[in-house]
């Protein structure tokens, strides 16, 4: 919704790698904000919508580790609970059909397409924040790093305390704003300390939170989604750290 450049980058990147990309217009939010806030039943229509919208596609790719984790970890649980409460109506089957075909972007690139060099050129210093869902729920491991290391001109800087949560946490960011901002401020400080021009991650929600703190503090580090780096083919293409604030 708010970061069209990420979606454009994913399409550009995948088409460059020879993938035929579709975008079913019936798709919507995966429902994670509702589910994680305790509204499991309100999430069910979105689970059904996801399963219906993506039926028939070979692979389902999302540039968000937390959305991928939501689908993979929670959709089967939501379907099972719905069935136990007498509302299955084909949900279990529909979910089982889409869950194994859902991939986070870097997973899809490395595991399915089998590439680490995607032909990108991004002549900037970058530090990478492995988001919690990518790190712990999906187990992305070093996939994002392997992709970044093959980007021409890119210099990767180590982020101190990289594995610690940035404090976004969905509605946690507003329900526990004080703790959330305290965590995000530490993450923002660590990013600034790297001296990198861009802070990169595989999830725009975390980047919106850290980026909001960075711009409030007037910091020069710009949050950039990893898809935009991987889609970039040199100075002048979209996604450079000189772009708009996140």
Partner 1 sequence: MTGRPVPLGMPSFPRAAAVSTRDARLRANLKHATGTIRARRAAAVAELDDWRQLRAAAAAVKERTLRHLDHYLVRLEERVTAAGGTVHWAADAAEANRIVTELVRATGEREVVKVKSMVTQEIGLNEALAAAGVRAYETDLAELIVQLGDDLPSHLLVPAIHRNRDEIREIFRERMADWGRPAPEGLTDRPADLAEAARLHLREKFLRAKVAVSGANFMVAETGTMVVVESEGNGRMCLTLPETLISVVGIEKVVPTWRDLEIYLQVLPRSSTAERMNPYTSMWTGTTDGDGPRAFHLVLLDNGRTDTLADTVGRQALRCIRCSACLNVCPVYERAGGHAYGSPYSGPIGAILAPQLRGLAGPLEESLPFASSLCGACYEVCPVAIDIPEVLVHLRERVAEGGEATVRGTRAVVRPARRHALERRVVAGAAWALDRPELLRRGRRLAGRAARFAPRRLPGPGRAWTDGRDLPEIPEESFRDWWARTRAQESSQESSHEFSHEFSHEFSHEFSHEFSHEFSHEFSHEFSHESSKGGDR
Residue 167 touches partner 1, criterion: CB under 8 A: yes
Q: Which one, 78 or 154, has the nearer CB to partner 1? A: 78
Name the residue nearer to partner 1 (CB basis): 143 or 246: 246
Helix (H, G, I), strand (E, B) or coil at 224: strand
**Residue 46 within binding range of partner 1, rule CB under 8 A:** yes
Q: How far apart are CA 164 and CA 79, in angstroms?
A: 31
The site string for partner 1 over 211-230 (x = CB under 8 A, - otherwise) reads xxx-xx--------------
d(CA 165, CA 182): 11
DSSP 57-120: -S-EEES-HHHHHIIIIIHHHHHHHHHHTT--TTHHHHHHHHGGGEEEHHHIIIIIS--S----
CB of 235 to partner 1, least distance (A): 21
Binding status of residue 4 toward partner 1 by CB under 8 A:
yes
* Stretch binding partner 1 (CB under 8 A), from 17-25, 94-102, 110-118, 119-127: 17-25
H/E element, 208: helix 204-216
CA distances from 54 to 51, 61, 112, 229 (A): 6, 10, 18, 26
If one asks whether residue 244 binds partner 1 (CB under 8 A), the answer comes out as yes
* Binding test (CB under 8 A) with partner 1, winner from 180, 225, 227, 230: 180
Rg (CA), the chain: 18
DSSP assigned state of 159:
P
Residue with tokens 């725009």: 204
Closest CA to 10 of 64, 66, 72: 64
- Our CB check for partner 1 shows the closer of 154 and 212 to be 212
Q: Which is nearer to partner 1, 70 or 197 (CB)?
A: 70
Please report how close the Cβ of residue 155 comes to partner 1 at its closest, in angstroms. Answer: 26
86 in contact with partner 1 (CB under 8 A): no
Q: Which residues of this protein are in contact with partner 1, per CB under 8 A?
A: 1-8, 11, 21, 23, 25-29, 31, 33-43, 45-46, 49, 132-133, 136-137, 163-165, 167-185, 208-209, 211-213, 215-216, 244-246
């Amino acid at each position: 919704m708010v970061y069209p450049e990420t979606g454009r980058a994913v399409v550009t990147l995948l088409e460059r790698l020879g993938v035929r990309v579709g975008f079913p217009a019936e798709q919507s939010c995966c429902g994670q904000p509702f589910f994680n806030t305790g509204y499991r039943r309100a999430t069910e229509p979105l689970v059904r919508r996801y399963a219906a919208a993506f039926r028939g596609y070979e692979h389902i790719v999302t540039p968000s580790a937390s959305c991928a984790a939501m689908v993979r970890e929670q959709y089967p649980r939501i379907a099972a609970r719905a069935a136990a409460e007498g509302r299955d109506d084909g949900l279990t089957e529909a979910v089982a059909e889409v869950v194994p075909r859902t991939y986070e972007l870097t997973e899809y690139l490395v595991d399915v397409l089998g590439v680490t060099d995607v032909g990108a050129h991004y002549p900037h210093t970058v530090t990478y924040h492995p988001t919690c869902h990518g790190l712990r729920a999906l187990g992305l491991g070093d996939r994002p790093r392997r992709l970044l290391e093959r980007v021409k001109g890119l210099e990767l800087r180590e982020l101190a305390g990289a594995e610690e949560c940035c404090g976004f946490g969905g509605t946690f960011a507003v329900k526990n704003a004080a703790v959330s901002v305290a965590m995000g401020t530490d993450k923002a400080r660590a990013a600034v300390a790297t001296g990198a021009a861009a802070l990169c991650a595989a999830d725009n929600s975390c980047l919106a939170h850290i980026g909001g703190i960075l711009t409030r503090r007037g910091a020069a580090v710009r949050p950039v989604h990893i898809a935009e780096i991987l889609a970039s083919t040199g100075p002048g293409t979209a996604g450079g750290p000189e772009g708009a604030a996140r």
